[in-house]
Amino acid sequence: MAPVTNGRVLFNEYLPTGYPIPGKTVVYDTSETIDLENVALNGGFLVKVLVLSIDPYQRNRLKAPSDQRSYGSFELGKPIQNFGVGVVLRSENSAVKAGDHVYGQYDFQQYVIVPELPSRIWRVLENKEQIPWSAYVGVAGMPGQTAYYGWKEYASPQKGEVAFVTTGAGPVGATVIQLAKADGLKVIASAGSDDKVEYMKSIGADVAFNYKTTKTSDVLAKEGPIHVFWDNVGGESFEAAIEHAATGARLLECGMITVYNTNETYTVKNLFQIIGKELHVHGVMVAGPLHEKYVDEFYETIPEKIARGELKYKEHVLHGLDKAGQGLLDVQTGKNFGKCVIVVAEE
Amino acid sequence: MAPVTNGRVLFNEYLPTGYPIPGKTVVYDTSETIDLENVALNGGFLVKVLVLSIDPYQRNRLKAPSDQRSYGSFELGKPIQNFGVGVVLRSENSAVKAGDHVYGQYDFQQYVIVPELPSRIWRVLENKEQIPWSAYVGVAGMPGQTAYYGWKEYASPQKGEVAFVTTGAGPVGATVIQLAKADGLKVIASAGSDDKVEYMKSIGADVAFNYKTTKTSDVLAKEGPIHVFWDNVGGESFEAAIEHAATGARLLECGMITVYNTNETYTVKNLFQIIGKELHVHGVMVAGPLHEKYVDEFYETIPEKIARGELKYKEHVLHGLDKAGQGLLDVQTGKNFGKCVIVVAEE
């Protein structure tokens, strides 16, 4: 078989502030080819990438190393990276065989040679529940893990308490809404459009509102105080949550999308209340010790719940790796409705 | 015996911002008398107040109820309140007898009739260790409890880790320094004068500096990253701690003196790092569940450590209840060097 094109999404320039521009911040490149039958694997395995995930946190990796705090910059001229699922075409690694479906952090390419299973993040997916592969980068992947690990470790939910979830129509927030409902909490959830509000109600939110037309602090004043806060927004939203937190409330900081594209300029004017209300603020990251602690439990329970229809999810699907730049932009502006997934190839 | 003067410190006017002004914010009043032998106790007990504590958090109680977040305003025209130790002159309460020394939250008066032991905060002090009564409002009282409870509950200290303690010459900070050293941590501590720096070194701080002449972030960049932060300052100090926190660090928010006298105007520009570094921020209050959990352990261990000289403390003593207004000002401006104590009477 002749070599085939191996399309790639390359990181083209650092973006200190502002939204990513498709074709400028990242570019789709078709200059490389790959000989699928003969390319040397050197003990690794060759994957045909099926789906790739676009997530808000990737915005931080578009910044220069000098502006980085935590995630590490993408390398200029090289493919950007994120979680995905692919099917193994050939393997020289005993842990993986042709036909296996592997979840991991892939370069944004149509075909990837993986030297080895690099970390506990990577996983050969059995999928005996037969849910769609795309679910494994969403509710059954990193965003679902983020929600599950953070909720299990820090929420300390008590039946009858009140939770407030921001970006409740996104894959993390929507999962948190459902976990909170399952634990018997009253759930307040916000998102940025009326159809997202309807969706949040459909998955169980007791109170759902559009933060663009309704003031968060007004809703919390009426429906709070809140005992658990799941924050994907930061800034004014964090301030409103502190203002309407009950004594001893748990504030789970998972994302601050309001500060990803600008510098952090909002003055949170009530940090002092962290003391008086004895609040607990926790930064939630999916990698690290929480992953070690919860990953097996996660894969044992979540795909099954999805298969049974007990855990719902919604996707914003873009077809073709060349749409990755658009996806990066969509999740920063909130244009996506549900988990943003790039379908790179059918099996 | 004829009635005697019962001097009182009355709350005279609300103070939204700025430093308390002795004689204006609070006034010392000698218009009342009390007949110690005959005054009706109605089932309560009569206390001659020996020592009263002045603490930074009292600044918040000088604000109007509409500006309150947590502590509750003092009542205009009535005595201000805080922790103290007094000796019982007469009692109709079976839990307390004449001659007992009682720790509790007293009105700022020379003599107080207490209807009953109002809460678990109050305590008849055995003092078999024979430490000075004033210690029971400092290192063996609320400030010491604050340090002890917060440290035990949230610090999760690991030998070899690094702690950073602000206002390390104050009663809370100085206790935290000694607890951290006892747990095998390297301790960085800051205060606002060179003699306080020397004192912090004398009680075990490995690195001590004057934040007025040395930049906190410079010290932390050199001596950090930090694993435990004890904050009595807020604002820029909180920001510096976040900036130089290790992954998984615990930030114990105990006070924010920089925002007590002004509104909260400082923009903490790196709250986002709470996520990436998986930080844990806890508000520490001495009352509430932590008190229930640790109070007996505290009184069983701390006075003994003080008596043995294993736990050191320093006092800023003012003689006479009429000096309370000055004390309030001193602890806000940092003029005090050590725990501010008003000696109201000798036994």
Express each pLDDT in A150-209 by its tens digit: 999 999 999 999 999 999 999 999 999 999 999 999 999 999 999 999 999 999 999 999
CA distances, A167 to each of A329, A338, B46 (Å): 16, 10, 58
| Residue to substitute from B68, B156, B167, B271, interface A, most A β-carbons within 10 A | B271
Chain A contact for B272 (CB, 8 A cutoff): yes
Gap between the Cα atoms of B314 and B308, Å rounded: 15
| SS3 call for A307 | helix
CA-angle at B18, arms to B12 and B24, nearest 5°: 25
| SS3 call for B94 | coil
From the CA atom positions of chain B, what is the Rg in Å?
20
DSSP state of B262: S
CA distances, A226 to each of A131, A157, A270, A303, B74 (Å): 34, 11, 16, 30, 27
Class of the domain covering A4-138+313-343: alpha beta
Query: With 0-12 CB in 10 A as exposed, 13-18 as middle and 19+ as buried, what is B238?
Result: buried
Q: Whats the size of chain B, residue-wise? A: 347
Adjacent-strand bridge partners of A46:
A90, A113
CB contact under 8 A, B264 and A255: no
Gap between the Cα atoms of B306 and B203, Å rounded: 13
Question: Are A32 and A8 spatial neighbours (Cβ–Cβ below 8 Å)?
Answer: yes
- Chain A 63-92, CB below 8 Å of chain B: which residues? 69-71
Where does the pLDDT of residue B258 fall: very low under 50, low under 70, confident under 90, or very high at 90 and above? Answer: confident
Chain A contact for B273 (CB, 8 A cutoff): yes
Chain A contact for B105 (CB, 8 A cutoff): no
The predicted model gives B11-32 an average pLDDT of 95
Tokens linked to A161: 């308490």
Where does the pLDDT of residue A263 fall: very low under 50, low under 70, confident under 90, or very high at 90 and above? Answer: low
DSSP state of A321: G
Only one residue has tokens 């932590």, namely B290
The predicted model gives A48-68 an average pLDDT of 91
With CA atoms as reference, report the closest residue to A204 among A174, A241, A244: A174
Chain B contact for A155 (CB, 8 A cutoff): no
Contacts of residue B69 in chain A, CB cutoff 8 Å? Answer: 270, 272-273, 276-277
Question: Are B285 and A276 spatial neighbours (Cβ–Cβ below 8 Å)?
Answer: yes
What lies within 8 Å, CB to CB, of A92 at 6+ separation is A41, A42, A43, A44, A45
Whether the predicted pLDDT of B250 surpasses 70: yes
* pLDDT for the residue A267: 82
Whether the predicted pLDDT of B119 surpasses 90: no
* Cα B285 → chain centroid: 11
Tokens linked to A151: 């909720």
CB contact under 8 A, A267 and B270: no
Whether the predicted pLDDT of B120 surpasses 80: no
Gap between the Cα atoms of A214 and B110, Å rounded: 54
Residue type, A168: G
Is the preceding peptide bond at B303 cis, omega within 30 degrees of 0?
A: no
Of B254, B270, B276, the CB nearest to A275: B254
Distance from CA of B256 to the nearest CA of A (A): 6
Q: For all residues of chain A together, what is the average pLDDT?
A: 93
Question: Are A244 and A228 spatial neighbours (Cβ–Cβ below 8 Å)?
Answer: no
Tokens linked to B241: 């701690």
Express each pLDDT in A296-319 by its tens digit: 999 999 999 999 999 999 999 999
CB contact under 8 A, A275 and B263: no
- Chain A 236-255, CB below 8 Å of chain B: which residues? 238, 247-248, 253-255
Tokens linked to B250: 């615990």
* pLDDT for the residue B116: 79
- Nearest chain A residue to B280 by CA: give it: A282
* pLDDT for the residue A67: 77
Chain B contact for A283 (CB, 8 A cutoff): yes
Q: How many CB atoms lie within 10 A of CB A334?
A: 17
Residue type, A139: V
Chain A contact for B156 (CB, 8 A cutoff): no
With CA atoms as reference, report the closest residue to A85 among A303, A332, A233: A303
Gap between the Cα atoms of A139 and A338, Å rounded: 10
* pLDDT for the residue A266: 81
Gap between the Cα atoms of B118 and B21, Å rounded: 31
CATH code for the structural domain at B4-138+314-343: 3.90.180.10
β-strand B123-124 against B186-191: which pairing, if any?
A: unpaired
| SS3 call for A93 | coil
Q: For all residues of chain B together, what is the average pLDDT?
A: 93
Express each pLDDT in B260-296 by its tens digit: 666 667 888 899 999 989 999 999 998 888 999 999 9
Of B259, B276, B284, the CB nearest to A272: B259
CB contact under 8 A, A276 and B285: yes
Tokens linked to A163: 């939770």
Q: What percent of chain A has pLDDT over 70?
A: 97
Helices (H), ranges, chain A? 58-61, 142-154, 171-182, 194-202, 216-223, 236-243, 257-260, 273-276, 289-307, 324-333
Gap between the Cα atoms of A285 and A308, Å rounded: 28
Where does the pLDDT of residue A329 fall: very low under 50, low under 70, confident under 90, or very high at 90 and above? Answer: very high
Gap between the Cα atoms of B193 and B197, Å rounded: 6
What lies within 8 Å, CB to CB, of A51 at 6+ separation is A84, A85, A133, A134, A136, A137, A341, A342, A343, A344
The predicted model gives B32-40 an average pLDDT of 97
**Which parts of B218-292 are beta strand (E)?**
226-231, 245-253, 280-283
Whether the predicted pLDDT of B245 surpasses 80: yes
The predicted model gives B160-176 an average pLDDT of 96
What lies within 8 Å, CB to CB, of B309 at 6+ separation is none
* pLDDT for the residue A79: 98
| Residue to substitute from A271, A277, A286, interface B, most B β-carbons within 10 A | A271
Only one residue has tokens 């007996």, namely B296
Most distant CA pair in chain A, distance: 69
Contacts of residue A267 in chain B, CB cutoff 8 Å? Answer: 264-268
Chain B contact for A233 (CB, 8 A cutoff): no
Tokens linked to A245: 């937190």
Residue type, A4: V
Adjacent-strand bridge partners of B103:
B85, B123
CB contact under 8 A, A274 and B288: no
Domain extent listing, chain B: 4-138+314-343, 142-283
Q: How many CB pairs under 8 A join A and B?
A: 122
Distance from CA of B282 to the nearest CA of A (A): 5
Gap between the Cα atoms of A230 and A219, Å rounded: 15
* pLDDT for the residue A264: 62
CB contact under 8 A, A278 and B276: no
Express each pLDDT in B50-90 by its tens digit: 999 999 889 989 999 887 656 789 999 999 999 999 999 99
* Cα A38 → chain centroid: 35
ipTM score above 0.85: yes
Residue B271 or B259, more confident: B271
Gap between the Cα atoms of A231 and A164, Å rounded: 8
End-to-end CA distance of chain B: 18
- Nearest chain B residue to A282 by CA: give it: B280
Of A266, A272, A279, the CB nearest to B256: A272
* Cα A157 → chain centroid: 22
Question: Are A253 and A279 spatial neighbours (Cβ–Cβ below 8 Å)?
Answer: no
Helices (H), ranges, B270-323? 273-276, 289-307
Gap between the Cα atoms of B152 and B228, Å rounded: 12
Adjacent-strand bridge partners of A187:
A163
- Nearest chain A residue to B239 by CA: give it: A271
With CA atoms as reference, report the closest residue to A84 among A50, A110, A109: A50
With CA atoms as reference, report the closest residue to B250 among B142, B143, B148, B152: B152
Q: Whats the size of chain A, residue-wise? A: 347
Express each pLDDT in A209-252 by its tens digit: 999 999 999 999 999 999 999 999 888 899 999 999 999 999 99
Distance from CA of A290 to the nearest CA of B (A): 10
Assess if CATH 3.40.50.720 describes domain B142-283: yes
CB contact under 8 A, A256 and B275: yes
Gap between the Cα atoms of B133 and A9, Å rounded: 72
**For residues B213, B217, B219 and B225, what is the CA-based torsion angle, rounded to 10 degrees?**
160
